Amino acid sequence: MKTHVRVLVIGGGVVGVSTLFHLTKKGWTDVALIERTELTAGSTWHAAGLLPLFNMSYTVGQLHKYSVDLYKRLPAETGQDVSFHVTGNLRLATCSERMDEYQKYCGTANTIGVPFEVIAPARVKELWPLIELGGSADTPAIIGALYHPHDGHIAPADLTMALRKGARAAGAEIYEHTEALGFERTASGEWRVRTSKGEILAEHLVLATGNHARQTGRLLGLNIPAIPVEHQYIVYDESPELKAYRAGGGRELAVLRESDKSYYLREERMGWILGPYEHGAPARFADGVPEWFGRSLFPGDLDRLVPHVEAATRRVPALEHCGIKDIINGPISYAPDGSPLIGPAWGVRNVWLNEGHSFGITAAGGAGWQLAEWIVEGEPGIDMLAVDPRRFGAYTSKRYVVQKNEETYRNVFTIHFPDEERPEARPAKTSAVYDRLDAKGAVWGQRYGWERANWFAPPGVERKDRWSFRRSNYFEHVGNEARLMRGRVGVIDLTPFTKHEVTGPGAEAWLDGLVANKVPAKTGRMALSHALTRRGGIRSEFTITKIAEQHYYVVSAGAAERYDSDYLFKSLPADGSVGLRNITNTRGCFVLAGPKSREVLAQLTDTPLDNTSFPWLTAQVIEAGLAVDVYALRVNFVGALGWELHFPIEYAHHLFDALFAAGKAHGIGMVGMRAMESLRLEKSYRMWGSDMTPDYTPFEAGLDRFVRMNKGPFIGREALEKQLASGVPNRFVTLEVHGVTDADPLGNEPLFEPGGRMIGRATSGYYGHCLRKSLAIGYARTDRSQPGTQLEIEILGERKSATVLRESPYDPDNLDLRA
């Protein structure tokens, strides 16, 4: 066994071996993998081997696409067959919301180049002659389907062996029966790994330990939010009907998914495999995998299977005539949102996670590809925010993960509405004024563990969403909130903002090297600043305010807390010249905005608020009511006269009550997240994570005014220089979408030349309630981005015409903000 490697991968399931394979592809061949028992002994050996391309996530969709393409060429590349049956896969729809879901997915699929067809029932029958099209209460009529002709199923163990062969041929080493038992960081920054066979020193560690993720994490002080859930499938004996169909020349049937009954069905040796996603499947191993659980399974639970077996038998009567050969019930790893954890671990250096895979056979190729790129190049090649392990924070307690993972599992096949808010593990994190907002009719959602008011139900209106891909029950109320903000004065509770304090003699220079904008040099000034990747993409957005000499207040997206904090802490200079504190939970934030906001705030403070004393884009530390040390920032995300008040958390109740008392005469009211979305789209304000991602540079994002190319070095500058020299390929656009009656764009819709080719994608969309226009923002090819250009956007399968508008269709000259 080697005693020193560049990268040590821990875990020999398909995901670990794929990571090893891809590291060698990137030219890193001094790499090894250790496996505590044998390759594939975790979840990989018993997986059903399905490779669904379908995924609602832009990122995960790209990973799956890469995998399916790779697996097709792997046999030629490695000389090892992987039994890839390209059967295609068919997802049935029996209700119109399901068709909406498929159509929404098709938009994403178009933007990442996944081929698909939306087909009618007659074509379903043609592709799948053994199916009943239905039409009764217990077997509803199929109204259409989504068909992917190019995916299918694979033999997971063969796939792992092909990846192993490729990795070893390139020089990687694999040590089976070698367990990682402990990790220690050496003075030189390497990792000393204690294994059951001796010690190995490694520059980088990759954890790909599947069901053991929590145990492995614990050895490094990491609370990894991955806990497996039981997942079963039934293996049937030979089916006479299937045999007859195949004997008559029928080709292997596509993998079938009846989403509305939550099961999949595929052929297996002239019989079937039926896999449901049942209600009541329990999470397992929350405290670790017991020693006795090796290449093991759980006993089958027929009770949970029965409703799905019955539904499938009604849909495919051939199932009735075959006996059950086996029930496989194994642990399937999950993270709370159902997407894997791929990327750097937080708080420790050179530790990488490839954990939490619930579709690990499908994802392994893409996950290995991007993680290897990240390790070798320092950055992934595509936007990986949706799978970055740091999208979760310290709130992922054991109970939280158990409840969420069980919920995610049972919802695999439910319709993924864009406004869906699932109920488990809530409320968990609440702002100090939660009860006050609740009393005002808040209809809650959850993000990063925080309860956030999506909208406020007026008295007499049911406090409930009817989730939809179209305008729904809250539309009118959201509109009223937006109009309140533009017309009078409203309050948004943005306490979840991520907040850091940066102090010390090196603070300014350090921040300046991290972001593309100039860090403010004068106290009371602020700058919207973007931290870039080395490729010039946007990694973070920070509002940096100079509070005092050597004292900066840095605010970023609430959901970016661990992601940004980890980056900032890991980037600190070693000389101790910069102090950094995450003060997210010590300050609350209320946005007070609208034309009457100055009059409201003036009743609480003696600080002059006129334009000369307190201009737009400046900040002051003020007293407000009885509250002291309130950072008042004259900015906001809604484009109105107003202030963000960042106050010591102990003043939350007082300040909230004082604002409402002072605002009563002006008709002050609460404004929720959905109205904020409408208001910010009217101003073309980009949202981190959807409109600003590592896929686009600030020039593409139209953020040129926040980039100071001549200020000195900053991360990403060289890439920006290159892009300026070669030409900026895409440009940010704001679109008015015409002819929308009930389905506004929501993001991830493809943009086309009229009647022609795809030239971009929308990244967000909403109804602009004050402008009374359906709006989208996104990226279009530069030559198609000028105001006035006519484009088309595909919304739920329908092409709509759209016009590129001048940026900030509401108040383009920012007169409200400067009022």
Ligand X SMILES: Cc1cc2nc3c(=O)[nH]c(=O)nc-3n(C[C@H](O)[C@H](O)[C@H](O)COP(=O)(O)OP(=O)(O)OC[C@H]3O[C@@H](n4cnc5c(N)ncnc54)[C@H](O)[C@@H]3O)c2cc1C
Q: Please report, as ranges, the residues that interact with ligand X according to CB under 6 A.
A: 10-16, 34-37, 41-44, 46-50, 179-180, 208-212, 216, 231, 233, 328, 330-333, 357-362
For ligand X, the closer CB: 131 or 412: 412
For ligand X, the closer CB: 205 or 604: 205
Q: In whole angstroms, how close is the CB of 152 to ligand X at the nearest point?
A: 11
The β-bridge partners of 766 are 775
Q: Within 13 Å and on the Cβ side, how many CA atoms surround 780? A: 24
Whole-angstrom CA distances from 467 to 105, 412, 463, 470, 765 are 16, 17, 13, 8, 17
- Scored b (16 or more CB within 10 A) or e, 101-116 reads bbbbbbbbbbbbebeb
For ligand X, the closer CB: 5 or 10: 10
Using DSSP, state whether 37 is helix, strand or coil.
Answer: coil
Residue 353 to residue 341: CA distance in whole angstroms: 6
For ligand X, the closer CB: 200 or 687: 200
- Please, where are the H alpha helices in 6-48? 14-25
Sign of the dihedral defined by the CA atoms of residues 391, 393, 398, 401, in that order: negative
The β-bridge partners of 32 are 8, 173
**What's the farthest any 2 CA atoms get from each other in the chain?**
88
- Scored b (16 or more CB within 10 A) or e, 495-523 reads bbbbbbbbbbebbbebbbbbbbbbbbeee
For ligand X, the closer CB: 300 or 797: 300
For ligand X, the closer CB: 39 or 124: 39
For ligand X, the closer CB: 53 or 361: 361
Q: In whole angstroms, how close is the CB of 246 to ligand X at the nearest point?
A: 22
DSSP string of 584-599, one letter each residue: GGGEEEEEEESTTHHH
**Both tokens of residue 61?**
């969709």
Residue 369 to residue 593: CA distance in whole angstroms: 46
Contact 224, 10 (CB under 8 A): no
For ligand X, the closer CB: 288 or 506: 288
Q: In whole angstroms, how close is the CB of 342 to ligand X at the nearest point?
A: 11
Residue 562 to residue 579: CA distance in whole angstroms: 18
For ligand X, the closer CB: 205 or 658: 205
- Beta-strand relationship, 89-93 and 255-258: parallel
For ligand X, the closer CB: 52 or 689: 52
**What is the helix (H) or strand (E) element at residue 206, kind and residue range?**
strand 198-207
Contact 635, 680 (CB under 8 A): no
Q: At what angle do helices 58-78 and 156-169 cross, to 10 degrees?
A: 70
For ligand X, the closer CB: 409 or 474: 409
For ligand X, the closer CB: 46 or 257: 46
Q: In whole angstroms, how close is the CB of 19 to ligand X at the nearest point?
A: 9
Q: In whole angstroms, how close is the CB of 1 to ligand X at the nearest point?
A: 13
Contact 557, 528 (CB under 8 A): no
Q: Where are the extended beta strands (E) located within 302-365?
A: 324-332, 341-344, 351-355
Whole-angstrom CA distances from 169 to 79, 166, 340, 389 are 11, 5, 28, 31
For ligand X, the closer CB: 274 or 578: 274
**What is the helix (H) or strand (E) element at residue 805, kind and residue range?**
strand 798-805
Using DSSP, state whether 294 is helix, strand or coil.
Answer: coil
Q: In whole angstroms, how close is the CB of 73 to ligand X at the nearest point?
A: 19
For ligand X, the closer CB: 11 or 107: 11
Q: What is the CA radius of gyration of the chain?
A: 27
